[in-house]
Structure 1
Amino acid sequence: MPTYKSEQFFSDVSRGKISGVYLFDGPEKWLKERAIKKIIDTVLTDESRDLNLDRFHGSDCRASDVVNAFQSMPFLSEKRVVIVQESEELTSGDNHIIGEALSVLPQSTVLVFVYDGKAGLREAIPAQVSSIGTVVTFWTPFANQLPSWIVSEVRQRGKSISFGAAHTLAESCRDLQEISSELDKLFLFIGKKNQIDVEDIRNHGLPDGRGDFKGLEEAIWSRSLAEGLHQAQLLGEMGIRAEAIFPVFEKIFRNLILARYLLERKGWNRTDVYAELGLRGKTRQGQLDQGLRQYSLEEVLSAFKKIVKAHLELKTGALQSDLAVSLLTLNIFKKKDKKARISALC
């Protein structure tokens, strides 16, 4: 069975189309947790959950317990839900036992295996689920996809949002969980109003998305490799994943290429460029000036390619989050030596 996108999964479940067994993988943890909640809320009533909902963690469960749970009949309910978190932590023996037992999965059970990253489809459980069930991979939207994601999210909640407001929200938040939390607050703030506008966001106020990334931003602008690697390590220790860090790189290099275009192609002066990019205050304006000195146009364009490549390596599981950020920092910050630059010109 083909891998589903998360949008298709949520649409199917909303229409009552529920598979007997799911495998959730991919890097977006918040969406996976939301998908689990969607299944539980759809399949079980509040009253039936105590007796018909089982949760396991692959790091501390036995195959026999999992199999007994999903082969048991529901009690005073039509369905039973079994969730296995950290399925990648199951031993190879337990993986094999559970995989074989899936061939006799009762129709009254909804079973969900959750993997922290990408599942190895050659293992027993993923191979069996891909054959008889539904595999859903949860990706984090790229930075340029976030406004559209927000528009869709607000529409599903029964309201609308202007694209400008969605863009402002995307720029101000670190990840999908924070975006969802801010939307909850905005819905309360606007009350019965049907659409969220930029003015609503300004009046309500939002967290400054620069907060946790200020040190990294300064390192990028100044092209300080040592500080950039240090900030990447600190962010990793704070639990901030690469999916939330990459947009910081994207925003800075997007500003750099736009600034060069306005200055060199359009002949704008610096003051007008600052205004166009929304850079208020000498500190932020000075950072742009510093970035223009540190990175050539060729290097800015190359940085975009490296950011896209890093996104793909992260999404395909080729790189883990911390390593992906460190490698991207190293690849963007490093400078060609003099001989390499001369060779490139010849």
Structure 2
Amino acid sequence: MIEYDHVFGYQQPHNDTYAGLPVVHVLADDDDLPAADAAAWRFQANDWGDGPDTMDEGFDWFFEHVDTSRVKAVVIGAWEECYTKNSAHIVSRLADNASRLPELRSLFLGAITSQEAEISWIRQSDITPLLEAYPRLTRLEVRGGSGLGLSPVRHQALRILRVETGGLPGEMTRAIAASDLPALEHLELWLGEENYGGDTAVSDLAPILSGERLPALRHLGLQDSEIQDEIAAAVATAPVVARLESLGLSMGALTDAGAESLLTGQPLTHLRALDLHHHYLTASMMRRVADALPGVRVDLSEQETPEEDWRYIAVSE
């Protein structure tokens, strides 16, 4: 299974490392530039006097000063007014210059912290052109669900797909589920809540849970959901689970009902890890889950308490 440097929390800006490489910010001192393939190149633009004013300025410098034919990883941070201006201009710039980035394998679109824009404020766009322009891309991560779009694609090389949102549109989920991703090993979707556009239904996940288009899948994360109990019930009988090595149902409103579905469903003892952190399980149910899976690394941290019967998810706004 592909090694994945998991970090929890959309606060992770990838200022220091990404995809196993040290991060270098564009417009850095020319005298200190590393080899192009020895760094992940980070782009950011704002009007606070920290970095270029526009992303185009950063891209212009990048293509002039870096041997982009060797670049392996790119991180896109906050672009100008990312809470009102969507990412379409960045997607277009990357797609239009794919021939100049033939070795690009890892891409994070939207490594933006809440100090710059809350996750639900980040304006994304259709990311289909990225997958079409980079058929050798192995890792794609996106933060922000507002305006996020995708047309079903077939991509032979993609091994990691992560979509972090406070609300994942059902249309986006259905497009991912309808895509053919034969090499995909790690799929992680932050489903969010309806108030922030998260109208994904359990039925939208059916093709993913069947696993028919995902023969290489080894990690599945369906998390940060207000309907986490319903998702757990569907996962409990999902064919794809039998060949997973790890499963993530964390960050959501999981209660004893959802945990009961997992315990009475298909065996989970083959898993190496089960991530349930940020949950609403009672202490007795936590013990039952741990006792039922003695050989599994189960994360039951962050036990939450409902507030007047209201259960909040880890990441929404």
* TM tier, smaller: 0.3 to 0.5
Q: Which has the higher strand share?
A: 2
Question: More helix per residue: 1 or 2?
Answer: 1
Bigger Rg, which one: 1
Q: What TM-score do the two structures reach when normalised by structure 1?
A: 0.31
Higher RCO, 1 vs 2 (CA within 8 Å, ≥6 residues apart) = 1
